Amino acid sequence: MLEEKQLLKKLTEGSEFGFNALYNLWASRLYGFVYSYLKSDSAAKDIVQETFVRVWTNRAGINPDASFKSYLFTIAYHLLLKELRRQLNHPQMENYLDLKNESASSEDIEAQYDFELFLKALEVAKKKLPLKQREIFVLNKEYSLSVREIALRLSISEQVVRNQLSAALKLLRRELANYSYLFILYVMNL
């Protein structure tokens, strides 16, 4: 079997073989990650499929020397967040939470709301970032753009992008200290 770096190179050249090999290598691990949050087989499968659709669509911009795992899980993470937001805004979610609250312990209730509270705290914390830092952070973490892509888009050097990301992460880590485990998941290189 070819090494992952070689498969990525083939993928960037449009190779369906490279894509399929990477899919076979990562799909089950990605599914496990997503399923652990959603507890829904169909939703997890949808996110895995959409993640790989995006990989294929953006194949030409993938850097074979960068961590594919990071790239892949970042895309899936953002799709997961989108799905969780959709679920939280679903009209039946309120009824479900009411029912769960009637039978749940205080620890269960706290766990249900942790993620929602984290997302709200993250939005507040992002507003404390200087405008350029916030823009770079959002492009990297929410739109999954690489440092190189951000540098090209904003006409700045890659080092400036790295410095701004580092400063943003430092401030956000401090602001989100109460949600450190969720913040780590949000920004980690899986």
pLDDT band with cut points at 50, 70 and 90 for residue 127:
very high
The pTM score is 0.50
Distance from C-alpha of 25 to C-alpha of 41, rounded to nearest angstrom: 19
Q: What number of other Cβ atoms are within 10 A of residue 137's Cβ?
A: 21
In this prediction, residue 190 has a pLDDT band, given cuts at 50, 70 and 90, of very low
Residue of 90, 87, 62, 85 lying closest to 74 (CA atoms): 62
Classify residue 77 by its DSSP letter.
Answer: H
Pick the closest to residue 126 from 139, 117, 135 (CA basis): 135
Give CA–CA dist 34/77, Å, rounded: 8
Is the pLDDT at 100 greater than 70? The verdict is: no
Q: Band the pLDDT of 112: cuts 50, 70, 90.
A: very low
Residue 174 has pLDDT above 70, yes or no: yes
The CATH fold of domain 1-89: Rna Polymerase Sigma Factor; Chain: A (1.10.1740)
Instruction: Show the tokens assigned to 4.
Output: 């992952």
| In the chain, where the domains are located | 1-89
Q: Contact, 83 vs 47, CB < 8 A?
A: yes
pLDDT digits (tens, 9 = 90+) for 44-83: 999 999 999 999 999 998 988 888 888 888 888 888 888 8
Is the pLDDT at 189 greater than 50, yes or no? no
Structure confidence at residue 85 (pLDDT): 74
- Give the per-residue pLDDT at 138: 87
Cβ contact 46:32 at 8 Å: no
Q: Which helix (H) or strand (E) holds 56?
A: helix 41-57
Quick one: average pLDDT of 3-12? 92
Confidence of residue 128 (pLDDT cuts 50, 70, 90): very high
Distance of CA 121 to the CA centre of its chain: 17
Question: Could you give the CA distance from residue 118 to residue 178 in angstroms, rounded to a whole number?
Answer: 9
Specify the higher pLDDT residue, 108 or 29.
Answer: 29
For all residues of the chain together, what is the average pLDDT? 82
183 falls in which pLDDT band (50, 70, 90)? confident
Rounded Cα gap, residues 169 and 21, in angstroms: 34
**Cβ contact 11:67 at 8 Å:** no
Confidence of residue 16 (pLDDT cuts 50, 70, 90): very high
